[in-house]
Amino acid sequence: MDTAMGTFPEIPGARRAFEDRPKLEDKLLWLDLETTGSDEAHDCIIEVGCVLTTHDLIELGEFTSIVKPEALGLGRMLQNPIVRAMHEKNGLLSEVLEVTDDHLPHKVTQRLLEWLVASGGEQSKVALAGSGVGHFDIRFIRRYMPQLASFLRYWVIDIGSIRRAHDMWVGTTISVENDNKTHRALDDVHCHVAEARAFAAFWQKAQQNISSGRP
């Protein structure tokens, strides 16, 4: 096998093993959280946005909600000039300051799970997806939305990691959707899904070329 990094030997039986392996067809919960900061021990979720898709990125529904933060987390955001300016600009801060107790994390989590099930999600058959979800969002989910964490598969699809790996090893631009984020949760989720579709199309085209023997 010839690649940009050299020639790798074909592994006996690898192609047949791949072809015989069942295809992953879990639904994907594309999720983005806006938070008061990056420390889940002291910061809080202030907005959640989700899009549920099939494995081949067909959208099944969307959900978004403001989340009421604890006083400590809100105070940390107000004292952080970068985060405060960002959410003043996109309008999120004004919404957070007016939010009621009906948007406490456990109540939002309950409504999110009800929506997820109504949209076709099944326990342990939905994987978390998004940008940074594997190292950032999941920490806040485990702390503030543990029922959602236990609903999901153990693995994630992190389009941010995919983007950086592609930049590192290939270097071509596949999508500019990440440049269009507003730092509102649902807006950013739609950017991540669009970016995933761009990568999926790129890989599918590459696989077609390999299968047909084209370079």
Note the pLDDT tens digit of each residue in 114-137.
Answer: 999 999 999 999 999 999 999 999
Residue 202 is part of which domain span? Answer: 26-212
Tokens, residue 152: 């999901």
**Full DSSP string of 128-163:** EEESSIIIIIHHHHHHH-HHHHHHS-S-EEEHHHHH
* pTM of the complete model beyond 0.85: yes
The mean predicted confidence, pLDDT, of the chain is: 90
The pair of structure tokens assigned to 76 is 């940390």
Check residue 211 and give its pLDDT: 74
Residue 140 maps to a domain: yes
**pLDDT at residue 15, rounded to an integer:** 56
- Among residues of the chain, what percentage have pLDDT more than 90? 76
**Is residue 153 one of the residues assigned to a domain?**
yes
User: How far is the C-alpha of 50 from the C-alpha of 137, rounded, in Å?
Assistant: 12
Q: How far is CA 61 from CA 28, 67, 200, 209, in A?
A: 11, 20, 20, 33
Closest among 112, 138, 134, 110 to 40, alpha carbons compared = 138
The average pLDDT across 42-68 equals: 98
Please report whether residue 19 resides in a domain. Answer: no
Is residue 135, in this structure, part of any structural domain at all?
Answer: yes
In this structure, is residue 1 part of a structural domain? no
Residue 16: what pLDDT?
A: 56
| Residue partners of 36: CB distance under 8 A and separation at least 6 | 43, 44, 46, 69, 73, 74, 76, 77, 80, 83
pLDDT at 210 over 70: yes
Within a domain: residue 198?
Answer: yes
Instruction: Read off the pLDDT of residues 132-172 as tens digits, 9 standing for 90 and up.
Output: 999 999 999 999 999 999 999 999 999 999 999 999 999 88
Q: What is the pLDDT of residue 84?
A: 96
Domain CATH code at residue 147: 3.30.420.10
Domains identified in the chain, total number: 1
pLDDT-derived band at 31, boundaries 50, 70, 90: very high
Task: State yes or no: pLDDT of 1 exceeds 70.
Answer: no
Q: Does residue 3 lie in a domain region?
A: no
pLDDT > 80? residue 12: no
**What value does the mean pLDDT take over residues 53-62?**
97
pLDDT of residue 172: 82
Asked if the model's pLDDT at residue 6 lies above 70, the reply is no
Give a yes or no: residue 148 inside a domain.
yes
Give the residue from 189, 64, 61, 192 showing the smallest Cα distance to 120: 61
